[in-house]
Structures are given as C-alpha cells and as structure tokens.
Amino acid sequence: MSENLTASVTGDFDARLQAWFDERGWRLFDFQREAREAYLAGESGLIHSPTGSGKSLAAWLGPLAEAAGGADGGLRVLWITPLRALAVDTRQNLAEAAAALGSDWRVEVRSGDTSQSVRARQRRRPPEALVTTPESLSVLLSYADGASWFRRLACVVVDEWHELLGTKRGVQLELCLARLRGIAPGLRTWGLSATLANLAEARDVLLGPGADGRLVRGQAPKSVSIRSVLPDTLERFPWAGHLGIRLLPAVVEAIESKGSTLLFTNTRSQAELWFQGLVDARPDWVGRIALHHGSIDRKLRARIEDGLRAGELRCVVCTSSLDLGVDFSPVDQVMQVGSPKGVARLLQRAGRSGHQPGAVSEVLCVPTHAFELVEIAAARRAAEQGRIEARRPLVRSLDVLAQHLVTVALGGGFEAEPMRAEVSRTHAFAGLSDAEWGWVMDFVTRGGQALQGYPQYRRVEGVDGRYRVTDRGIGQRHRMGIGTIASDTAMNIRWLTGGSLGTIEESFVSRLERGDRFLFAGRLVELAQVRDMTAWVRRAKKGKRTVPRWQGGRMPLSTELADCVLEVLAAAGSGADESAEVTAVAGLLELQRRWSRLPVPDELLVEFTRSREGVSLFCYPFAGRLVHEGLATLLAWRLSRQTPATFTLSANDYGLELLCREEPAIDEERLAALFAPGDLEADLLACMNTSEIARRRFRDIARIAGLVFQGYPGRGKSTRQIQASSGLIFDVLERYDSDNLLLDQARREVLESQLEARRMRETLAAIGGKRIVIERPERLTPLAFPLWAERLQSQIMSSETWRDRVERMAASLERAAERRRKSA
DNA sequence: GACCTGCTGCGGGATG
C-alpha cells in the first residue's frame, strides 16, 4: 500500500535527511528508524520515550517522507496535541523540518486562538499538515464539508497521549479517530507517550480494539537523581504541615547555586506564598523570579514562558501548569516543594532539567514535614525499580458520546447502524449495550423521557434514516459547547486602571469585603468592587492579607508511591535503608517504634490513644487520602450501627482517625469484621452523601451532554446559574426519569473517581490479608500527630489558634521524647 | 507579625 511512498523516499531524500541531522549534530536513533520503517510499511503504533529524547521527531519522520512527495492538495497529516502552546512550537519545528528537506508543504495551526479569517481560509484551502487540539478536531468534524476535508488524510499523530488517556478528552479523541478512520481508510495513527505502567493498553486504546499496532520503545529512560533538602535539625522540623516555607533559606541557597530553577509546588496558593517568600528574602531578584499557575492571565504566562526560553529568569515558581509544554531550553535545576504524590509526576518534572541526550535529570525535593522525607526516599526507590503509575482509560462516558453524535449529525449527518458500528470500534464504547445506544439516540433526538416537551433538546432529526442537525441555532450553540473540560468557577480579576491579572474563585471573592487585601499573581492587591463577573482591584500597601484559595482537584498519593513508603518504613526498621532521608528521619521513626510500632507491609497498625477529647482510633492503610476519607466514613457508619455513637473523622494520605467520646469495644477480630469488604458499594451509597456529590458531578455531565448551555463567549453565564440550571435538571430527571443514564453515569463517576471505590475495595481486600495489630500508646505518635493536627484545623477553635495548639502539643511531645532519651 | 492546601487542559462564525 505504500509503494508510492517508498518510491518518493529516494536516495536524495535520505541524503538530505542525513545532512539535516548532521547539521544539528543529531544522530538518528534506532527507535526513530524503527518508527519510520513501520510507518512506511503502513503500520500504526505508539512510540514511548522520555521527554526530550527525540520522540516527536520519530513520529514526524514517516510523514516527512510523505512531504517529500510535495504538496498535491489536501490535508495529509494531522498532529493532535493537548496544549495550544505546544501546537505553536510543534508547527514551528515541523515547518522547519519540511522546508529543510525541500518540501513545499504548508504546516499550520488551528486552535481556539486561530483568527476567524485564518479559519475561513483553512476551510477553503486546507494545509498539507495541520497541528490542532482534540477539541478543534471535533469542531472540524462538525462542518458539513468536514468529511471531504479529511478524505486524503494519510496520518494522524497524537502527541502526549498519556496526558489524554484516562480523561474524557481522550474519549472524545477516540471517537474522532474512529470517525477519521471511517472517512480515510488506510489512515495510520501514531501516538507519543511518556512512561506509563500500561503502555500496551495505551496503544490499544489509541488504535481501537482489535487493531494491530507497534509499540516502539524509545531510548532507555534517562537516569534521574532524586535528592532532598535536609533540614538542619530534625528536632525542630514539623511533624505536620504543608507549606514548607521553613526551608526557605536552604531553597534560596539552592537557587543561588544554579543558573535557572523551576520550583514546583502542589497548589496555587502555595506557589503564591513561596513566590512572596523568595521576593522578601531576595529583593534583588525582583524581575528575575516569576510566578506561573492556572489562575494567572494567559498572556502573562506566555511572557514568563518566553522569559524562561530566553534564559532571563533565575527562578519560576509554578504548579503543574509547567508540567508540560513549552519546549524549554532546559532549566538547570528542578525543585519540588511538598509531596510529589506520584512517581510519574516527579519523573516528568525532573525531566524538565538536563535535556541533552544522556544528561542526568535532577530533582531536589523540599519536604514540608518530617514524614515527607520518607516519601521522597520512597519515590526514589519506585523510580529506580521502574514502578510507574498506570493511567486507566475511561469507558462508557455517555455524555461524551451524546456530544459526539450531535457533532457528527451536524457534520453532514449519519445513519444509525454504520454509526453504531463506528462507535463500537473505540475502546470506550466497544462494550456499548443495545439499551445504552438506544438511550443515547433517544436522548439526542428527543431529549429523553423527561425533556421531550422542550424543542431545544430535540437536537438531531432523523429523516429517511439519516440523522442531521437541521436547526441553525442548535448547530451554532453546539459548536460553542464542544469539549469535555468543565469550566472553572472563576471570575476575572482586573486592575481598575486596566489590564487583566487572571481568574479567581467566585466563592473566594464573595467572602471578601470592599477594601480587603489579598495576594494575587505575586502582588498585594485591594478589592475595589465586584461587577460584571469581574473583581476590580487596585495595588495595596502592606497590611493584613489573605491568600486566595482555588478549588482544585485533590490528588491522593498514588498506590505505587504509597506501597513504596510502606516498604521504606519496613526497610528503615530493619536498618536496610541508608538513604540520607531515612537517616535524617531515623530519630522520629525510632520514636514511632518505641511509642507504638512501625507500620510494615504485612500488618495493619491500629492505635488507640486517649486524650481529653476522648479516645482516638488511628490506623494507617497507606492508601491515599480519598480512600481514607471514604474508609473513615465507612468505619464510623458500620461502628455506629452496632453501638450508637458520634465520631469525628480525619484523614490524610497515610491513614485515618476516628475520634469518639468513649472507647468502642473493639478487638482485633471485630476490627477485621469492620474492614471486611462486604457490600461496599451499597454501604458507601448509604453512608456517604453520594446524592449531593452526584448532583455536583452532574453539572459537568450535563454540560458535556449538551443539557445546559454555557452561554455565549464574553457573556458567560455565571457558574452559579449553570449549577442552578443543571441542579434543576438533576431534580427533574431524578423525579420523572430516574432511569436516565446520565444520572447513572454521575453516580458511577462519583464512586469511581471521587471515592476511588475500586482502590478502596483493593485496600479492604489487602487488609483482609494482613495481621491487625492494636497498640495503645500513651500519647500521639509521629504518625498520628498530622491526623490530629488536620482534624483540629477543620474544627472551629475556641480561644486558642490552631498554631498555638499545634506548637504546644509539639513541645510537650518533644519534652516527652527528651525524657525518654535521658531515661534510656 | 500571624494567617494558610488542594492541579491542569479546551471551545463559534455569518455578515457587514
């Protein structure tokens, strides 16, 4: 099938390719050659390699051979990337490569940033290669002439596939790829992915069930060095806490020692505080330190990225906003404040330094409390052993399917049976039942059971067996709503004097009064007024301030990392781990061992501790925060069914606490029964406020499925309105259409994503195989202390402040430890 | 000077 292609790859082309490589001092790696050969043989597949190792180039070599044939009209190569900023960089690289090889191909970008006139021209005369996002691809497929656009498509490349896999954006792309394969038979699909535990699955999902594909292994993973900033004396280092600002002097020193540093933090407010801390410590760095996170204005972020590229910045404090994208000239140093939460995430961040082939990536971790040192040692262990997290693909996301069906109905229409067949050629919908398919079709044509009276929900019309969107208004509104990313509950924040600062949570602003000062984008500002969904601010002088809080995801510690933490603790107990972190934290671990015991993989440690508030049950399954929250609720519920009692709950990544006035009558045997899986889902539904959580979840589903319209750009409906209308629909459906599959999906998503029911089940099963050990320490152990502090923080304090109490408790524990040391 | 968790990503176009 690729004879033409092979013929066009003449010796001349290969010579030019070689010359182009030589010019840059690059060498053609075996895996790049392998990808190219596979491409020329008509294969599809997935290329796996760490960042900055030339995998983009590997994917481009095949299509470049197409380019050597010259432009003969029509779109031949489509490059999908999850980030608009990456699209711009990619276009630049590809255009240069094509030109250097003597091709007259046009390489263009199309995304939300593309101007209307360019879009119009692109539709009239498509470029030979287009770099775009999954959403823009979907929009392209919604045009009536979309199919003719893609008819000659030879290759689609999906960059950063690991970022899309496991998300609804990935599901949407799966559907679009199936569509493209229907339009352009013989289309090759190539994906690019960073390291994942389930690479083969990632390839299969990309190519669709049953399709054959190659897995090209790139260069061996770069070696990564994970080190820690160690506190001078661990005696004074907090047992709990999240900010880590105590280590500021050491961090300043580390930044000083290198040319440029990326300082990753876990939250936006943490980034704000660290930025402020650095500026206060080193006023001479002003202008050469920058702050980068998701709430900061895009233009400002772009300027910072440019500054980083140009090597003008000494340090950028950021969140995951800089995990991806912007092909930096490498920074000299990467630092991570607080728990990295996962191995893959830490490796990805480490990869931002030492871009040269063969160079070592380095990351310097900054612990925010003592046990995080163990976590860092665990991350190193996991990285060395290649224990990287998997990303599980989503299935049966009916909201995405509904959106896609309207898109295709708009883009020239479809017939039911062929469409169903096409949809089942995706991994996400391979197992779609007749009932589900029937339901989604009914939903897009009639609005389903409850909404059939409303014409705006009759979006797709079937005439003579062909389904189309005939109403222009419906079509226009649908295009505006394409995509699966739920909009933030955000307000704009602007200077009174003009100029945008970024976005801020509506809920945060609503708590402020006029004249209140807060820290935003690294500046102290004062709220002047709120109107038109915008918070207007002016510069403020020093004074009382608040740090904005943004609503974000709550990342639990990954299973891989949590398992490694347990192993490191066990190794530390037997003296088998001699890492700097474990050595530094040895005294604390010894305290834990003496006062109670160290948790080990084949035991579940349960501690009963008496305090003036009552009796606390602490236990440490090391299964991540979300699971522990669910588990705490489940245990309390199961316990109170036997003996009525009130519990106060607390959870973190390592364990959970149940506080009760009286000590519940519990022994090992009863505990084991409480931890039995039983009918987990039914119990969870009974004891958690799942219906309220599902209601909130439904907001996104309703938007994706097209049940609520987000409003026209610039005249955005406030999120409260969206929440109100989706809430209304939720109630109507629950009452009059309780079989609605979108409700069902909302409940399913709550169980799976929000409560991590699957991981909870695995945790309970694992506990079933462990020996339960009860200890009754006289005081809070190092492991219990953060849980205790966490609970206090969430309770309303009497006259004392949280910090007072934490410090007093810490002091008394320290005294106790001191006494022990002396008597020993 | 005390205060203090919770990430990221996308998206329209006919008419004047």
At A580 the pLDDT is: 92
A346: how many CB neighbours lie within 10 A of its CB?
25
Type and span of the H or E element at A704: helix A690-705
Report which residue is nearest nucleotide B6 when distances run from CA to C1'. Answer: A554
Q: Tell me, in Å, how far CA of A368 is from C1' of B9?
A: 28
Protein CB footprint (7 Å) on chain B nucleotides: 1-15
As given in the structure block, the two tokens for residue A49 are: 């390699």
Q: Give the closest residue to A469 by CA, choosing from A454, A456, A485.
A: A456
Pick out the nucleotide with least CA–C1' distance to A273.
Answer: B4
Max intra-chain CA distance, chain A: 91
Percent of chain A with pLDDT over 90: 48
Report which residue is nearest nucleotide B1 when distances run from CA to C1'. Answer: A544
Residue A110: φ, ψ to 5°: -135, 120
A795 CB below 7 A from strand B atoms: no
Q: Tell me the whole-structure pTM to 2 decimals.
A: 0.90
Q: List strand residue ranges (DSSP E) for A698-814, in order.
A: 771-775
Pick out the nucleotide with least CA–C1' distance to A487.
Answer: B10
Q: Which A residues between 96 and 115 have a beta carbon under 7 A from any strand B atom?
A: 111-113
- Say how far apart CA A711 and CA A720 lie, in whole Å: 13
User: A275, A522 in Cβ contact below 8 A?
Assistant: yes
Instruction: Count Cβ neighbours within 10 Å for each residue of A13-27 and write b for 16 or more, e otherwise.
Output: beebbeebeeeeeee
Q: Give the closest residue to A664 by CA, choosing from A620, A614, A599.
A: A614
A345 CB below 7 A from strand B atoms: no
Q: Which A residues between 733 and 772 have a beta carbon under 7 A from any strand B atom?
A: none
Type and span of the H or E element at A19: helix A11-24
Residue A41: φ, ψ to 5°: -85, 5
Q: Tell me, in Å, how far CA of A531 is from C1' of B3?
A: 28
Q: Give the closest residue to A786 by CA, choosing from A242, A235, A236, A233.
A: A242
Q: Mutual orientation of helices A690-705 and A719-736 as an angle, nearest 10°?
A: 110
Pick out the nucleotide with least CA–C1' distance to A119.
Answer: B13
Q: Tell me, in Å, how far CA of A265 is from C1' of B12?
A: 36
Q: Tell me, in Å, how far CA of A85 is from C1' of B2?
A: 40
User: Three-state SS for A657?
Assistant: strand
User: Three-state SS for A541?
Assistant: coil
Q: Tell me, in Å, how far CA of A470 is from C1' of B16?
A: 25
Pick out the nucleotide with least CA–C1' distance to A368.
Answer: B5
Contacts of A158 by beta carbon, 8 Å cutoff, 6+ apart: A80, A164, A173, A177, A189, A190, A191, A192, A206
Pick out the nucleotide with least CA–C1' distance to A479.
Answer: B12
Q: Tell me, in Å, how far CA of A98 is from C1' of B14?
A: 35
Pick out the nucleotide with least CA–C1' distance to A482.
Answer: B11
At A195 the pLDDT is: 86
Residues in chain A: 824
Residue pLDDT, tens place only, A569-584: 999 988 898 899 999 9
Pick out the nucleotide with least CA–C1' distance to A797.
Answer: B3
- Beta pairing class for A490-495 and A500-505: antiparallel
Q: Give the closest residue to A707 by CA, choosing from A432, A444, A410.
A: A444
Q: Tell me, in Å, how far CA of A115 is from C1' of B10?
A: 16
Q: Which A residues between 441 and 500 have a beta carbon under 7 A from any strand B atom?
A: 476, 479-483, 485-488
Q: Give the closest residue to A68 by CA, choosing from A112, A144, A2.
A: A2
Q: Tell me, in Å, how far CA of A481 is from C1' of B11?
A: 6
A82 CB below 7 A from strand B atoms: yes
At A53 the pLDDT is: 67
Report which residue is nearest nucleotide B3 when distances run from CA to C1'. Answer: A546
Eight-state DSSP code of residue A46: E
At A628 the pLDDT is: 92
Residue pLDDT, tens place only, A393-441: 999 999 999 999 999 999 999 999 999 999 999 999 999 999 999 999 9
Pick out the nucleotide with least CA–C1' distance to A545.
Answer: B3
Residues of chain A with pLDDT under 70: 1-11, 51-53, 220-222, 234-235, 325-329, 355-358, 487-489, 543-544, 710-724, 792-810, 820, 824
Type and span of the H or E element at A318: strand A315-318
